[in-house]
Amino acid sequence: MKKTWIIVIAVVAVLVIYCISSYNSLVTQEETVGTAWSNVENQYQRRSDLIPNLVNTVKGYAAHEKETFDAVVSARAKATQMTIDIEDLTPEKIEAYQKAQGAVGSALSRLLAVTENYPELKANENFKELQAQLEGTENRISVERRKFNETAREYNTSIRRFPKNIVASMFGFEKRPYFEAEEGSEKAPEVKF
């Protein structure tokens, strides 16, 4: 009888230790996803901070391109107003966030296209520096989005695997959505001369 109790207590102790270990592991992974999301937002903020400098530099050379400037400033304003709490990260909210950031990218593309008409602007050192920083930031955004997707995948896999999925469901750990390609990006843009 005494041996049976020792075995039961040992099994219960092992299960408790496993649950605690699994819970702590899931918390760590959830925090990693949160950090990755913050890094994505940080890079979008960096891009947003560069935009006014770029617009003002171009404005000095192309004052009559007001419509393009307004589109860039408007898209930036909309994108910076949109924030998503990591606890409330849903596919719909990521899609809306991505759409707002895509509008900024589109407006910036139009702004940079306008600069092609101004050779003296393209030779301006401030403009060159801002353009290089913006290109670097776009690359950083891509890298951070990829890292976010990787950490979200690891976390999602972890909460779905047996027997950790039992601990995850007991404590309310939920699947995190991914950044996905924007609609229409599967087609290459058509170039006409």
Residue 56, pLDDT score: 80
Which residues in the chain come in under a pLDDT of 70?
Answer: 61-66, 121-123, 182-193
Identify the DSSP state of 161: S
Provide the whole-model pTM: 0.75
The SS3 assignment for 65 reads coil
Residue 98, pLDDT score: 86
User: Across all residues in the chain, what is the average pLDDT?
Assistant: 84
Residue 189, pLDDT score: 47
pLDDT digits (tens, 9 = 90+) for 81-135: 888 887 878 888 888 888 888 888 888 887 877 777 777 766 677 778 888 888 8
Residue 187, pLDDT score: 57
Residue 27, pLDDT score: 95
Give the residue from 19, 43, 18, 37 showing the smallest Cα distance to 155: 37
Residue 124, pLDDT score: 73
